[in-house]
Structure 1
Amino acid sequence: MTSGAPAVPPPRLQQVRNRTPFGHFQYDKMGPGIRFHDVVIVCASFVLAAGRLEAAPRHRGPVFADAAWDAAQPVLSSLRSATDLVLFKPEADIFVTGSARARGWTPQREWLATLQVARHGTALLDKSLRLTGPRSWPWHDDPAQRTPGDPEPTLEVPLRYELAYGGWWRDEGDAADAPPRLHPTNPCGSGRFGSACRDTHAGARHDRGVAVPAPQIERAGVPVRHGNQDDLPAEGFAPIARHWQPRLALAGTYDETWQRRHAQAPFMDYAEDFDLRFFQYAPADQRIAEGLAGDESLRLAGFFASTDALEMQLPGLCIEAWCSTGDGAETAQFMKLDTVHVDLDEMLVHLTWRLTLDQARNVIDVDLRLCEAETQADRDWRHEARGGVPA
């Protein structure tokens, strides 16, 4: 911190008593309007199996930072992991990582993978992607005339955006050391070609007569038909990096007006049009706008070698936070279950609950208690209480 710079205010929250069997982590964040918040998260891991989820023998704990698959070129890589340490999530994220495997360990050329979420029989999420074995882009002078070849049989498909449509490229006339041009929704994919014949997949050359890998993940019913389809979004079940569109647009407008307003300001505020959904990592069609009550059902089909589908139910737990202020007032609220991460490789489901407290509330003590809804009315009330903006 430079001399004379204002100090970030210390956390107001002085003590967290965690009476749950799961670990917690406390940190502070600045929010829009230069309002500082104390944040508490509770993270728990559950065994990925049919029926109601049961706690795993060991809990992973919070993810402290984003990590790219290619740490040397993070701008051209999808995320290996997504941090839990954000201010707030208005909606609930549900994402899947790892590899989808062919049924019965029998190599297949293609199959559908489906993720569904429901609450008491009402569908909240229903998404299907087509997965294929390895295939290539045969050469054609016109990139828009290049069409993906037939897939080869495969045993598994990693759910990484490197295997979806997108990519980076350079055009004729671009300097060799110039930053690459990026497909805005997926810079690490394949299919967007430039006039300099630089392929988008893993930096390989797409020279005349040389075939390069084509996408293996696409929207069911919306195939990748040819190269340079700029209207195709990133397709996948995994988390989206913060510098990708359309997530980046939610960060707001940081133009000359914003720069002038903050030239002499003690803290750099968020843009006026900043959207809290920027903190969401799941693709837009894998977010539950109304949040999660904690007892929803999940169905995953086309992901496992051992079974056609797994149907499971979230553990039906909620975490009540009793908050005490500096003047002795006490209030209770429920932590927001805002992240469900299905890890196919570890066969685990990681859940994150979040409590975001504006420091203006002067909450100095929080007591966390595990509970479960006993009636439908309780569930409805808890569900309502989890919406809205940071408290």
Structure 2
Amino acid sequence: MEILNQTSFQFAPLVGRVHFPAYSFTCIIKGTFDLVPGGTAVLSDEQLYPTGDEPYPDDEEQRTVRYESDFAWYKPHADLLLAGTCYTPGTKPLPACRVTFRVGGAQSTLVVFGDRHWHKVTGTISSPRPFTAMELRYENSFGGPGHEKNPIGKGIAETRLPDGSSAVPLPNIEYPGQLITSPDSRPEPAGYAPLHRMWQQRMARLGTFDHNWQQQRWPWFPVDFNWEYCNAAPGAMQVSGYLEGDEALFFENLHPGITRYQSRLPGLRVRCFLNRHRGGESQHLQFDEVKMHLDTLWVDMDAEKLVLVWRGVTDIQDEQYEEIEHVFIVSESLSETPRPVAEWQDDFQAALAAEEAAFADESPQETGAAGDIEEAVRKAEATLHKALRAAGIEPVDELPEPSREDREAEARMLKEYGLEEILAGKALTRDTVVRRMAAKESFAEEVFSDLDLSGLDLRGGDFRGAFFLNVNLKNVLFDGAILREAHLENTDLSGASLRNVDATEADFTGACLSGADLGEARLEDSIFEQSALDRACLENAEAGNGIFTRADLSGADLKNGCFVGADFSRSLLDEADFTGASLREASVEGAAGRNLCMRDCDLTELRASEGCSFVDADFSGVTGEQSTWEGAVLTGADFSAADMMGADFSSARLERANFLAADMKQARFTGADLTSAICRTMNLFEAGFEKANLTGTDFSASNLYGAEFLGARMDGTVWHAANLKMTKLAGKQG
């Protein structure tokens, strides 16, 4: 599928099952705008990509949602949402203040109070403490522990005050018609932020997941599923139908400098077309429009940002949506009559032809390119010759050989500056190196050529920028030396000691470092491409952004090293030991290694896909949030006690893998093979196992709340004491 986007907006597809019993294809188009006080919102320079739920920056437990996921299959109404702060007029301290959020004809007003609480003895409400700013979050609305509509709010549970006494703090944010008047008051949680999908307001719309559903509708939603579940806005801010796109906006007491802030939507109509095959494997392509609805408006009032999301749904043949060849996205002004589909089809064909022509232009034939370069060189030479003649200089095609007098003068100059060895064509000798090392002279940027320096003591030497050409450095002592930006390509450093060396940005391409000791070395941005590092020691080395592609690290000791952003692509890692090392944002794509040990490593955002193979590897205790293992061979690997929220194991081979007590919230195992894997006591909250092979997999006592098992093979799967609530397998525990 190819995307031809003629707008500045961002596009994302989403496959689902909106219309029973068909598959659905949801087109999501997201636009980001800057609010203009007193004017119309304008396109932002940075267009935000469709994203999942985004919590508040200080909400590490992700108890609330600041921005609701864009990936909703369908919304029957428009959501009007806002993140912001109540600012008192003129920032004058007040005990209470009103805020208003209005979009077109939809409006919601809140009353915001300063901090207050119940007087336990008198049963009265304390006077609100004056405030100038109050963030509009559900932590400040009615609720509390055990309250199904807002378990993070206030108004139910006691808390201890600074003076040591206890009291029940009251909510700061309320609806004008539902003000708290007694301890028995139970108002709706007031706000403009998205309601969490696990709260009662939305959970009540999920429908009935019972035996009839399993027999008749699974894996589609139940017949009584209410699609309003996908709407996240509080009821008053859900628009019946959808937005037009040119509505007026009004914000009262939501900006520190503008009490009554007015703006307007940009007045755009977004249209989306699919060019797809109809009728099975037919070669005929049909150009169809997907009706788009503006169903989400979100405002970040403190940043004066506006996000609009258009969404459209169409049926497809299967979840692979292979019949769709192209997606064509355009926009129009609402002040103009919509253009006919046929005209947009002509524009699509023109855009497609232009793209194909541009691609062809970027790939010229080699002979043509060479001819163009030669012609350019000839023209440049002609221009240069013309300029030289104009300056009274006769150009020559080739420089003459230097005279004997010139060569003798050059020799005298080199001797004067101590460079006669270079003139003689001789590199430094072994004895010269020994002598100069004893005198503590620097070798910075010098050339070492055709030398045998094996076994020498070069500790603490300054070799920054030096060139080592065909030099034998076997068993050399380089401890504490400076090798910054040194060139050691194809050098034999087997058995050498380079402890605590500074080799930042050094080049070891193709070098032999078998059994070498680089413990505690500084190797940031160094290159070890195709190097032999088997049995080498890199313990506690600092090798951030180092390049180890195609290197042999068999049996190497890399414990507690820093390899942040390093590239180990296609390297050999048999029995390599990375225990306690940091490989944040590193890559091991295409690498292979049996019995690899990465125990207790930091693998956050590690890239381990593209056919990497780590059979029987030890990843126990690792931290690997958002790491990628797509298609990896991890048969028999040990991930016990790993913390890997959001990790992607799609299509990975995980037969007999051990995930005992691992925390893998929202991890993806789509199409993975977990035959006979040990997945006991895991946290797999909202994990995805679509089309996975779970034959003989043991999920005993694991938390699988909200996990997805669509199309998974589950022969002999063990669910004893597993939490399967909010899954389509609820009731299988035991």
Q: 1:272 to 1:66 in 2, by over 3 A?
A: farther
The structure whose Rg is larger is 2
Q: TM-score, normalised by structure 2?
A: 0.42
Aligned counterpart in structure 2 of residue 328 of structure 1, from 285, 302, 312: 285
Aligned counterpart in structure 1 of residue 35 of structure 2, from 48, 51, 54: 48
CA separation in 2, counterparts of 1:318 and 1:94?
A: 18
**SS of equivalent residue, structure 1 residue 258:** helix
Aligned counterpart in structure 2 of residue 244 of structure 1, from 199, 202, 210: 199
Residues 293-339 of structure 1, C-alpha deviations (whole Å, 9 max, x = no match): 11111111121221221111100011111222203222234422111
Aligned counterpart in structure 1 of residue 3 of structure 2, from 13, 16, 19: 16
Residues 43-69 of structure 1, C-alpha deviations (whole Å, 9 max, x = no match): 121112221111122223222235367
One-letter code of the match for 1:92? A
Does structure 1 residue 217 correspond to structure 2 residue 173? Answer: yes
Task: Quote the residue 1:10 is aligned against.
Answer: none
Does structure 1 residue 188 correspond to structure 2 residue 152? Answer: yes
Aligned counterpart in structure 1 of residue 188 of structure 2, from 225, 229, 233: 233
5+ residue gaps in structure 1?
1-13, 169-181, 194-198, 380-391
CA separation in 1, counterparts of 2:20 and 2:227?
A: 12
Aligned counterpart in structure 1 of residue 51 of structure 2, from 56, 63, 68: 63
CA separation in 2, counterparts of 1:49 and 1:148?
A: 40
In the TM superposition, what are the counterparts of 1:193-342 in structure 2 within 5 Å?
193=157, 199=158, 204=159, 209-230=165-186, 232-259=187-214, 261=215, 267-326=218-277, 327-342=284-299
**SS of equivalent residue, structure 2 residue 90:** helix
One-letter code of the match for 1:166? G
Residues 79-127 of structure 1, C-alpha deviations (whole Å, 9 max, x = no match): 2321101101111111111222122222221111111222xxxx2x121
Q: 1:308 to 1:71 in 2, by over 3 A?
A: closer
> How many positions carry a matched residue from both structures?
327
> Once the 2 structures are TM-superposed, how far is the Cα of residue 363 of structure 1 from its aligned partner?
4.2
CA separation in 2, counterparts of 1:286 and 1:299?
A: 14
One-letter code of the match for 1:93? D
Higher fraction of strand: 1
Residues 180-222 of structure 1, C-alpha deviations (whole Å, 9 max, x = no match): xx212211111224xxxxx3xxxx4699941243100001143
Which 10-residue stretch deviates more, 213-222 or 279-288? 213-222
Aligned counterpart in structure 2 of residue 138 of structure 1, from 119, 125, 138: 119
8 Å Cα contact 2:14/2:73 also seen in 1 = no
8 Å Cα contact 1:28/1:39 also seen in 2 = yes
Does structure 1 residue 346 correspond to structure 2 residue 303? Answer: yes
Q: 1:208 to 1:100 in 2, by over 3 A?
A: closer
**SS of equivalent residue, structure 1 residue 127:** strand
**SS of equivalent residue, structure 2 residue 228:** helix
CA separation in 2, counterparts of 1:253 and 1:205?
A: 42
One-letter code of the match for 2:156? R
Task: Quote the residue 2:14 is aligned against.
Answer: 27
Does structure 1 residue 127 correspond to structure 2 residue 89? Answer: no
Does structure 1 residue 166 correspond to structure 2 residue 143? Answer: yes
One-letter code of the match for 1:350? V
8 Å Cα contact 1:357/1:363 also seen in 2 = no
CA separation in 2, counterparts of 1:329 and 1:86?
A: 26
> Once the 2 structures are TM-superposed, how far is the Cα of residue 257 of structure 1 from its aligned partner?
3.9
CA separation in 2, counterparts of 1:245 and 1:352?
A: 25
8 Å Cα contact 1:299/1:311 also seen in 2 = yes
Which 10-residue stretch deviates more, 360-369 or 97-106? 360-369
In the TM superposition, what are the counterparts of 1:76-115 in structure 2 within 5 Å?
77-115=63-101
**SS of equivalent residue, structure 2 residue 245:** coil
> Once the 2 structures are TM-superposed, how far is the Cα of residue 372 of structure 1 from its aligned partner?
1.2
5+ residue gaps in structure 2?
278-283, 340-734
CA separation in 1, counterparts of 2:64 and 2:109?
A: 20
CA separation in 2, counterparts of 1:208 and 1:154?
A: 23
CA separation in 2, counterparts of 1:301 and 1:53?
A: 17
Q: 1:146 to 1:378 in 2, by over 3 A?
A: farther
Task: Quote the residue 1:6 is aligned against.
Answer: none
Residues 235-281 of structure 1, C-alpha deviations (whole Å, 9 max, x = no match): 1111111111222111112235435x27xx8x532121001111011
Q: 1:106 to 1:23 in 2, by over 3 A?
A: same
CA separation in 1, counterparts of 2:178 and 2:276?
A: 54
**SS of equivalent residue, structure 1 residue 353:** strand
> Once the 2 structures are TM-superposed, how far is the Cα of residue 70 of structure 1 from its aligned partner?
7.2
8 Å Cα contact 1:95/1:342 also seen in 2 = yes
Q: 1:290 to 1:378 in 2, by over 3 A?
A: farther
8 Å Cα contact 1:319/1:334 also seen in 2 = no
One-letter code of the match for 2:257? S
CA separation in 2, counterparts of 1:332 and 1:107?
A: 54
One-letter code of the match for 2:142? Y
CA separation in 2, counterparts of 1:102 and 1:333?
A: 45
Which 10-residue stretch deviates more, 159-168 or 183-192? 183-192
Task: Quote the residue 1:9 is aligned against.
Answer: none
CA separation in 2, counterparts of 1:109 and 1:17?
A: 54
Task: Quote the residue 1:39 is aligned against.
Answer: 26
CA separation in 2, counterparts of 1:44 and 1:103?
A: 31
CA separation in 1, counterparts of 2:288 and 2:17?
A: 23
CA separation in 1, counterparts of 2:71 and 2:285?
A: 29
8 Å Cα contact 1:93/1:338 also seen in 2 = yes
**SS of equivalent residue, structure 1 residue 137:** coil
8 Å Cα contact 2:10/2:48 also seen in 1 = no
Q: Which structure ranks higher in relative contact order (CA pairs < 8 Å, sequence separation ≥ 6)?
A: 1
8 Å Cα contact 1:191/1:228 also seen in 2 = no
One-letter code of the match for 1:160? R
